[in-house]
Structure 1
Amino acid sequence: MVIGLLALEIFLPYSQSLKDKRKVLNTLRDRVHSRFNAAFAELDYQDKWQRSRIGIVTLNSQKGVVDQVLQKICRDVEENLEGEIILSEFHYF
């Protein structure tokens, strides 16, 4: 069993409050969960309204499938995010 983690550090320039940030992240979480059936969590910067570090996790018996899903998620987030990705990291366990 292979577990894949996609860690993204994102900048949300249009967010003016924690409420705005929460709305963007909830929309993103719902999209990732419904389209890719992956788990989503905010990992850091919970008190900053224009910055976040999120983790997205998926698993499969084949590493290639996990990598392909995480790459698709990263592209989808980049295309639909109301902000920009500062850093992306892929980890496999």
Structure 2
Amino acid sequence: MFVATCVITLELEGVRSLKEKRSIVKSVITRLQREFNLSVAEVDRQDAWGTAVIGLAAVGNDKAHLHRLLEKSVAWVESQRPDAPIADYSIEFL
């Protein structure tokens, strides 16, 4: 069994309030959960307006499949959410 995690840092330029940030982050989290069947949560920088850090996790028996799944998730955010560009991301296996 493998546990794969991904941490994505989003730059939210132009966001002027935590309410606006929460709206964007909640939308991204909900869509990632629905599209890729992942566990997703905001994991850091909750009080910063211009940055969001979200964590993704998946469990499976094929390490390559999990890596592809997380890479596809990152690519989805890049292509579908131009309002939340990715500043950095990392994938790890536990």
TM-score of the superposed pair, with normalisation by structure 2 = 0.94
- 1:58-86, CA deviations, whole angstroms, 9 ceiling, x for partnerless residues? 11111011011001000001112212111
1:63 aligns to what?
Answer: 63
Aligned position for 1:54: 54
Normalised by the length of structure 1, the TM-score is: 0.95
| 1:34 correspondence with 2:25 | no
Give the aligned partner of residue 73 of structure 2: 73
What is the aligned residue count? 93
CA distance in 1 between counterparts of 2:14 and 2:79 reads 16
Moved over 6 A (4+): none
CA distance in 2, matches of 1:46, 1:91: 22
Alignment-mate amino acid for residue 91 of structure 2: F
Q: 1:33-65 CA distances to partner (integer Å, 9 max, x unpaired)?
A: 111010111111111111011101111111011
Percent of matched pairs sharing the same residue: 26
Over aligned residue pairs, what C-alpha RMSD do you find? 0.9
Post-superposition shift, 1:24?
0.5
Contiguous gaps of at least 5 residues in structure 1: none
Q: Which residue of 2 aligns with 1:18?
A: 18
